[in-house]
């Protein structure tokens, strides 16, 4: 597994840095660019790209979970070192040596590193000169982006209790989601064992003070199908809703205003995964049906919007106002959204 993951991590670094260097002002501040995970930017690439440098991490990524033996892998969030970048510095977290790395974009040299007490599985988020990330040690960290100085850290769990988990010593309430920052508010989830307590939190980005904290989800298993949620993956946000991926299950929706649980997405059969994005305030989430990954869309009430959005197989998607691009095992398909909707209206 590790030999396969090494080139994946290098490719992500090389292409991630190339994209960011072309965007002098906007940068790439979070995973897939923004809270909606659109993977779209208003910046433009240079007409000719070239390889400037390669940074080879000392360790291949060590994902929390092994690949399934019979089903398609639905948890791809920590199998590579995803990169964010702004103001001439690129950042990534390491799931092996528990560090966050800051690299000079022009030279590829390390500017600083920061140790935590557990694996850092998700790319840091950059916001107003600071970076934000979580660790399996149970803490969310806020550092000064230019030098790695600790500004504040926050623990969602009630104490420092640790256990052996995924072949590492981790908190009983590890931060297994990304840290999402939107309009000055930090969102994240902690805990993976429902009976031990799950926490969905919102903090002030400046000082780490609690805005709200939902600690009720671990007690609601009887209400939810397939054993409820276990926060794991990159958080996604629309204008008013925070979507919390739940590993191999479907995401759960919470109010961004007060943390109130809204609904839990439960299509029929085995379905779910950590992939997702929001387009036009509609969540599009990855599912698996009969061994084929597809996408299903939901409106803000949690109801399925008509049929499966993409009935063809697809492992990734990017949606612009006019075109939807879908990655499959056979290639990339571009769908004209305007013509598609016009044809759909005629058929209906």
Domain boundaries, the chain: 2-313, 318-348
d(CA 202, CA 209): 9
d(CA 22, CA 277): 24
In the sheet that 199-204 helps form, which strands lie side by side, from edge to edge? 180-182, 185-190, 199-204, 210-214
User: Token pair of 9, please?
Assistant: 């991590």
d(Cα 251, Cα 215) in Å, to the nearest integer?
Answer: 17
pLDDT along the chain (348 residues), means of 10: 36 43 70 94 83 92 74 68 96 97 95 98 97 98 99 97 91 96 98 91 98 86 60 93 84 94 69 78 68 51 48 73 84 85 63
The conformation of residue 324, written as its DSSP 8-state character, comes to E
Q: Is the dihedral of CA 26, 32, 37, 39 positive or negative?
A: positive
Determine whether 241 is exposed, middle or buried from the number of CB atoms within 10 Å of its CB (0-12, 13-18, 19+).
buried
Looking at residue 326, its pLDDT comes to 84
pLDDT (tens digit per residue) in 275-310? 888 888 788 877 654 444 455 555 555 555 544 433
Q: What is the pLDDT of residue 266?
A: 64
Q: What is the pLDDT of residue 347?
A: 57
For residue 132, the cross-strand partners are: 125, 142
| 332 contact partners, CB below 8 Å, separation of at least 6 | 325, 326
> What pLDDT does 345 receive?
60
The edge-to-edge listing of strands for the beta sheet with 139-144 is 125-127, 130-134, 139-144, 150-155
Q: Which of 61, 62, 54 is nearest to 16 (CA)?
A: 54
Digit-coded pLDDT (tens) for 221-245: 545 555 568 899 999 999 999 999 8
DSSP 8-state symbol, 347: H
Tokens 């897939």 label which residue? 32
Report the alpha-carbon angle 223-228-231, nearest 5: 140
pTM of the model: 0.85
Residue 12 Cα to chain centre, angstroms: 15
Tally DSSP H helices, then E strands, for the chain: 2, 24
> Which residue shows structure tokens 């109801």?
303
d(CA 262, CA 311): 27
Pairing of strands 249-255, 241-246: antiparallel
CATH number of 2-313: 2.140.10.10
Give the Cα separation of 304 and 307 in Å (integer). 7
Q: In the sheet where 323-328 sits, what is the strand order?
A: 316-319, 323-328, 331-336
Locate all alpha helices (DSSP H) within the chain, ordered by sequence.
Answer: 2-21, 337-347
Asked if 74 contacts 289 with a C-beta cutoff of 8 angstroms, the reply is: no
pLDDT value for 199: 96
Q: Rg of the Cα trace of the chain?
A: 19
Encoding tokens for residue 172? 């009983």
Distance between CA atoms of 159 and 169, rounded to whole angstroms?
Answer: 15
């Amino acid at each position: 597994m590790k030999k396969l993951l090494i080139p994946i991590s290098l490719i992500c670094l090389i292409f991630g840095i190339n994209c960011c260097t072309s965007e002098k002002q906007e940068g790439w501040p979070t995973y897939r660019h923004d809270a909606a995970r659109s993977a779209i930017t208003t910046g433009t690439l240079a007409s000719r790209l070239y390889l400037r440098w390669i940074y080879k991490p000392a360790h291949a990524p060590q994902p929390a979970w092994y690949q399934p033996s019979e089903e398609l892998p639905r948890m791809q969030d920590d199998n590579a070192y995803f990169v964010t970048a702004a103001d001439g510095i690129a950042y990534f977290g390491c799931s092996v040596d528990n560090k966050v790395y800051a690299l000079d974009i022009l030279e590829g040299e390390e500017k600083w590193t920061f140790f935590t007490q557990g694996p850092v599985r998700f790319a840091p988020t950059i916001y107003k000169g600071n970076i934000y990330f979580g660790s399996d040690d149970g803490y969310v960290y806020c550092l000064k982006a230019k030098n790695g100085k600790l500004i504040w850290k926050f623990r969602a769990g009630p104490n420092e209790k640790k256990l052996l988990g995924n072949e590492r010593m981790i908190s009983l309430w590890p931060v297994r989601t990304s840290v999402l920052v939107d309009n000055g508010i930090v969102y994240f989830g902690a805990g993976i064992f429902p009976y031990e307590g799950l926490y969905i939190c919102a903090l002030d980005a400046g000082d780490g003070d609690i805005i709200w904290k939902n600690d009720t989800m671990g007690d609601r298993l009887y209400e939810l199908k397939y054993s409820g949620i276990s926060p794991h993956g990159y958080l996604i946000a629309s204008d008013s809703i925070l979507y919390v991926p739940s590993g191999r299950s479907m995401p759960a929706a919470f109010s961004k205003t007060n943390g109130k649980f809204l609904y839990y997405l439960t299509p029929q059969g085995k379905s779910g995964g950590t992939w997702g994005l929001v387009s036009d305030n509609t969540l599009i989430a990855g599912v698996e049906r009969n061994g084929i990954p597809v996408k299903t869309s939901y409106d803000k009430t949690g109801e399925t919007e008509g049929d499966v959005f993409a009935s063809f197989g697809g492992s990734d998607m990017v949606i612009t106002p006019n075109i939807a691009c879908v990655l499959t095992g056979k290639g990339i398909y571009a769908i004209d959204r305007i013509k598609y909707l016009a044809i759909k209206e005629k058929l209906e």
